[in-house]
Structure 1
Amino acid sequence: MWFNNIHLFRLHDAVEISVDELAYAMGSHAAVPLGNADARRIGWTPPAGRLNNWLVREVQGQRLISALRQERLLPASVVKEFVDDEVAEIEANEGRKVTRKEKTALKEQFTEELLPRAFVRSHKIDLWWDTKRNLIGVNASSRTRAEDVLDLLRETLGSLKVTPLSSQTLPIRAMTTWLGDTASRPADMQLGDSFELKAKGDDGVVRARQVDLDSDEMQQLLESGRQASKMAISLEGQLSFVMHDDLALKSLRFGDALIEEADHADDGDDALARMDTDFVIMAGALGQAVDRILEWLGGEAKTGGENEHAQ
């Protein structure tokens, strides 16, 4: 139970809801198999999988819930091939050109016919809910996938006032400063050896790994106006990640000390207890890391909580 990526969100005016109440509400939106006519669907699934059917795990105020996203894989090229064959047959038999409207109707027809035979891809997305910090983190590779889970949670609860976590200093500005000025780097932060620089114009993106971030070449790139949009960072040996300009933390790697702490926990052979231990240790490390990152970035930006994503 260790996240790979995390998109962070702030809960505003969070309503108190017990684990039992939350689990009951989630039950009405639990994942079910896709119907033949369904292209995609998302619903709640037990975080522990076959180990336990509880929809919510809570340890020390840290909640873990999971969504199952299912979608049928029907490549557009497959549908196009059926449409092209049908169009060719109609034109040959009837001696006329098939109209664009007819092609659109054929596309819809073949999509409907082929969908039930398409493979189903399932993807589990975990959500960490820190009830003490009113913070939510979604383990998803993209913000779009994270938003899908938040939409499901909003539908489940009836209302959810949440905004992407934001800082007083923009991450792209802070990362650029850290690259260009070694004295500006926080004492407990260590820069990694990979980065991405964006140009303000149309000069593209520079990506590099295993480079000297303090080299003359790097300084020349910064002096040309490029800004750091991604950067590998380590925090006190506890956690390493790639920070993105939207404050997403990707490629999470937890320190050896944390892994050893989890390994040495007295869980016996209880796989469920081990999952809970891993989760609470991970959640503790992530919470502390978020607190520290916000300090690096001048604190959290003030929002009204009634704007984006609030319903």
Structure 2
Amino acid sequence: MSFKNLLVYRFEEPIKDSLSTVEEKLSEKPLTACLTQEMESVGWLPVFKEGKQYVEKINNALFFRLGIEQKILPNSAVKTAVDKKIEEKDLKHVSRSEMKELHELVTNELLPHALVNRHSILAYIDLEKNWLVVDASSTKKASLVTSHLRKTLGSLPIVPLTPENSVNAALTHWALHGIQSDVLSMLDEIELKEVKDEGGNAKFKGVALNSKEVQDPLKEGWQVTKVMLEYDEQISFSMSGDFIFKRLKFLERFEENLESEDDPLLQIQAELYLAIDLYRRVVQNVYDLTNSAK
């Protein structure tokens, strides 16, 4: 149940709702099945499949899960049905307004029979760091959580946690001069972009960062746009200019600290307890180093 991504927001003021209040508010807006003519339904789910709680407090963090149900209605299927309608009605010239009406008619006919896909997004409020952390690889996906959480709680005074310095500039500096850190290191997977109109791109994997292939473009002014990083030999992740921690992967050193539990729920909670501490250190460390890069 570990996070695949960390997209972090900072609360502009500490959250005032208690655990019981947040639990109550979320439980009042659960995910319900899509109605016959609905394309999408959004609501809260219990944090763990094995549990019933809409909020779980672990290591001073409040975990919650947003559920999304979406009808699968491909554009190609709608277009085919519209074309059939046109043939059936023997329409020779279809105006824009008539085409719009046909699309709406066909969509309404197909919706009740469309397949439904359900997925969820895990997130937590870190009471210690005053952060909201979403397992999302883009702000668009994260906005599903933030907008629904704002509606549920009544307010959500957050701003993205982004360094003052350019992230890409910091990544480029590290690739050229190394990272002044005992815990953070760059791995041999990097993407570069030529900083000019219609500039080139280059991707390297398994090629040493101090090699001529990587260093020559950097010395010519190319910029790092994405790189794999490793923190304290415990976790690896991808970092780019949006300051979203992606492709998170626990490493052997972290897994060695996990104790085996007979109860699957206790196992998940134990992993999340340790993960929270690690996420706090990783995000803060990369944030501080980015701001200190010259």
Question: Hey, what does 1:174 align to over in structure 2?
Answer: 170
Q: Does 1:259 align with 2:255?
A: yes
Match of 1:188 among 164, 179, 183: 183
Structure 1 residues 41, 198: CA separation in 2 closer, same or farther (over 3 Å shift)? farther
Residue in structure 1 matched with residue 110 of structure 2 by the alignment: 114
Partner residue in 2 for 1:123: 119
Residue 17 of structure 1 corresponds to which residue in structure 2?
17
By how many angstroms is 1:47 displaced? 1.2
AA of the residue aligned to 2:4: N
Per the alignment, in what secondary structure is the counterpart of residue 258 of structure 2? helix
Match of 1:104 among 100, 104, 111: 100
CA distance in 2, matches of 1:204, 1:39: 41
How far did 1:169 drift?
1.7
Distance (whole Å) between structure 2 residues aligned to residue 29 and residue 2 of structure 1: 25
**SS in structure 1 opposite 2:257?**
helix
Q: What is residue 62 of structure 1 aligned with on the other side?
A: 61
- Tell me the residue number matched to 1:281: 274
Q: Secondary structure at the match of 1:298?
A: helix
What letter matches 1:271 in structure 2? Answer: P
Give the match for residue 44 of structure 2.
Answer: 44
CA distance in 1 between partners of 2:213 and 2:134 (Å): 36
Alpha-carbon shift at residue 130 of structure 1 (Å)? 0.8
1:68-79 mapped onto 2 (5 Å cutoff):
68-79=67-78
Q: Residue 97 of structure 2 aligns to a residue in which SS?
A: helix
Counterpart in the other structure of 2:2: 2
SS at match of 2:116: strand
Equivalent positions of 1:87-236 (< 5 A) are 87-91=86-90, 96-182=92-178, 184-200=179-195, 201-236=197-232
Separation of aligned partners in 2, 1:247 and 1:162: 16
TM-score (normalised: structure 2): 0.94
Work out the percentage of aligned pairs sharing the same amino acid.
Answer: 27
Tell me how far 1:15 sits from its aligned partner.
2.8
> How many residue pairs were aligned?
291
Moved more, 101-110 or 81-90: 81-90
Mapped to 2, the partners of 1:211 and 1:292 lie a distance apart of 26
Q: Which residue of 2 aligns with 1:309?
A: none
Report the CA distance between 1:138 and its aligned residue: 0.8
Where structure 1 has 5 or more consecutive residues not aligned to the other structure, the ranges are 300-311
Q: Which runs of 5+ in 2 are unaligned?
A: none
- TM (norm. structure 1) is 0.89
Q: 1:186 to 1:261 in 2, by over 3 A?
A: closer
Distance 2:207 2:81 in 1: 50
Does the 8 Å CA contact 2:190/2:203 hold for their aligned counterparts? yes
Q: What is the deviation of 1:72?
A: 0.8
Instruction: State the Cα RMSD in Å.
Output: 1.6
State yes or no: 1:290 paired with 2:286.
no
Moved runs in structure 1, 4+ residues, more than 4 A?
Answer: none
The corresponding residue for 1:303 is none
State the alpha-carbon separation in 1 of the partners of residues 183 and 115 from structure 2.
Answer: 48
How far apart are residue 253 of structure 1 and its match?
1.1
Q: Is the 8 A contact 1:25 1:157 kept in 2?
A: yes
Could you tell me how far apart the structure 2 residues matched to 1:275 and 1:284 are? 15
CA contact (8 A) 1:34 1:70 kept: yes
